Chain A
């Protein structure tokens, strides 16, 4: 075995370890980058209301409502829990003026697009809360040709920092710095 081969022989396991380390780091970077997707789905507590024997229920996907898009499910059922025929459900949202501190929110109530949910009598939609504060969601529907409405009061809280995003970026940054430091040390040694 000549000197060059000995050198290659000695470097073999180190190279393998380094490759393994690189793969591990790469996987971690990917995992951290997409870590924010991991904790996506929790369901909030339903708000139930009954008006003229019609049971109405509003549930947001998140327990705590924050400014921005929030997915919700609304159901309109009769006293026996059956869906109302031809209910012509419409949902609008507006900020409760008594709590609006002069902020630039929409003056007109926002009409929401509804899609049929997984069960009959259930509808889903997206509510884009422009800012924190008290909001009123008005649902209007027809019962045997008569228009009815149910209002839901919801409290939109100020969103705190998204620690998953911050953590994801911090993790990537730390990894980049650590790899760079190791590489620098290696190049100085060699």
Chain B
């Protein structure tokens, strides 16, 4: 899809740039990143745990509350993922067992064909649609609450990854097809870690070995050229560019969360769409886990005149997805009066401002599962050795404390989103118009936050 190209003011204050500390200046850290052990030292243990989890899901107990695979996946890993993305960017993607599987298959039987043009052009849309389809399937057929369903999903992904690794070059799957990669990319834009090249050094470079690779180490698996890379969305911190660069141009530094979102020179509609749709997904996840969901469903059945869950849930799903999208479009329409940009431009640019709230909503929702059901990971693990813990509480923290933490996270995310919208507006606005544009997006963020807080205030069902 077309990139929205609008002139933007440079908004990076020099003080911010000066504060960035290159972590690679630490000799031990640099030695570790450059060593052959990295990233294998993380990848292989995770791959072993993953293999066991898949085995448990497809061959272990059929009841979710007895299955270590379900607990490990949906109570531990899924809630931890957005937190990891916030603190370490897409580091998870280099640890991810699917990525490792892609690399191994490619090494032995890879045909290394170039990525088809349609994937480059529509990859994010494919990710958007896949993400929506998986969320829909989860509610209709049961993936999270059914170990076999989760197992089949993982087997499907495994097959697709093997296909991609066997046919295409580098990590085509991770970059253009992985729905989690799309989510991770979006969240990593708001993340605290960035890897960049030093422009002054790179302009003299003629080897481009960071992209092409060397005899010892392959080039960037994510098709990124660090010399021109200005986003952390696609960098999985694999360290290949650090190993390959003959000029020590690469830096890894920490940054203020959301900072990357403030200066997006080429906002993309599909990224903005994913950002706002994730908000809808968080709403659906919350609504269907509420104890009032059955009452809502009954009312919907009366209105639609059918008890068919496929129909009633699909209607709920479409409404939940459309509400945030329509709200963002409407806000863009109002903002148009202040900034004179088209609704499409506003949608693409300010859609990125929803990412901090998305991240907060995702963390807050899953915090409930992590803290209210966290002990189930230990219990199900113990049950592998015949130790039974039936009836024991799975809660790590009491519900009121978890609820309070959820509210705090949503408030932080809302502040992040409002500030991001302000910075996006500031990067292309005159002062007279800045206030109006910022105010309408601030109202949108507050509305989305209130909806989240209301949903978190109601009693929620557990996964296990």
Contact = CB atoms under 8 A, between A and B. Distances in A.
B406 to A, nearest CB: 22
Interface stretch (B158-166, B219-227, B343-351): B158-166
Given A103-B390, A104-B65, A184-B109, A177 B166 contact: yes
A132 B108 CA distance: 43
Interface stretch (B5-13, B40-48, B55-63): B55-63
B353 to A, nearest CB: 40
B159 A158 contact: no
A169 B155 contact: yes
A162 B109 contact: no
A180 interface: yes
A181 B167 CA distance: 10
B148 A162 contact: yes
B63 A103 contact: yes
B58 to A, nearest CB: 5
B391 interface: yes
Given A101-B390, A104-B65, A180-B166, A165 B159 contact: no
Contact of B391 (A102, A132, A158, A180): A102
A173 interface: yes
A132 B60 CA distance: 13
A146 B361 CA distance: 56
Nearest to B154: A169
Contacts of A131: 62-63
B167 A67 contact: no
A179 B105 CA distance: 12
B152 interface: yes
A36 B65 CA distance: 27
A73 to B, nearest CB: 21
Interface string B56-97: 001101110110000000000000000000000000000000
B109 A180 contact: yes
Interface in A54-68: 66-68
A165 B148 CA distance: 10
A131 B464 CA distance: 12
Interface string A154-166: 0000111110011
B111 interface: yes
A173 B409 CA distance: 42
B166 A176 contact: yes
Contacts of A173: 158-159, 162
B413 interface: no
Contacts of A183: 111
Contacts of B374: none
B416 interface: no
Contacts of A104: 65, 462, 464
A102 B109 CA distance: 50
Nearest to B392: A102
A188 to B, nearest CB: 11
A176 B159 CA distance: 9
A132 B62 contact: yes
A184 B155 CA distance: 25
Given A162-B58, A177-B109, A184-B109, A172 B159 contact: yes
Interface string B196-223: 0000000000000000000000000000
A67 B62 contact: yes
Contact of A166 (B58, B110, B162): B58
Contacts of B166: 176-177, 179-180
Interface in A128-179: 131-132, 158-162, 165-166, 169, 172-173, 176-177, 179
Contacts of A184: 109-111
A158 B61 contact: yes
B464 to A, nearest CB: 8
Given A104-B65, A169-B155, A180 B110 contact: yes
B59 A160 contact: yes
Contacts of B155: 165-166, 169
Contacts of B65: 103-104
Interface string B387-426: 0001100000000000000000000000000000000000
Given A131-B63, A180-B110, 15 more contacts: A67-B62, A101-B390, A102-B390, A103-B66, A104-B65, A158-B61, A158-B63, A159-B148, A162-B148, A166-B58, A173-B158, A176-B159, A177-B109, A179-B166, A184-B109
Interface of A: 66-68, 101-104, 131-132, 158-162, 165-166, 169, 172-173, 176-177, 179-181, 183-184, 187
The 8 closest A-B pairs by CB, nearest first: A180-B166, A161-B59, A180-B109, A102-B391, A181-B109, A102-B390, A159-B62, A169-B155
11 contacts: A103-B63, A132-B62, A165-B58, A176-B162, A177-B166, A180-B105, A180-B110, A180-B111, A180-B166, A181-B109, A184-B109
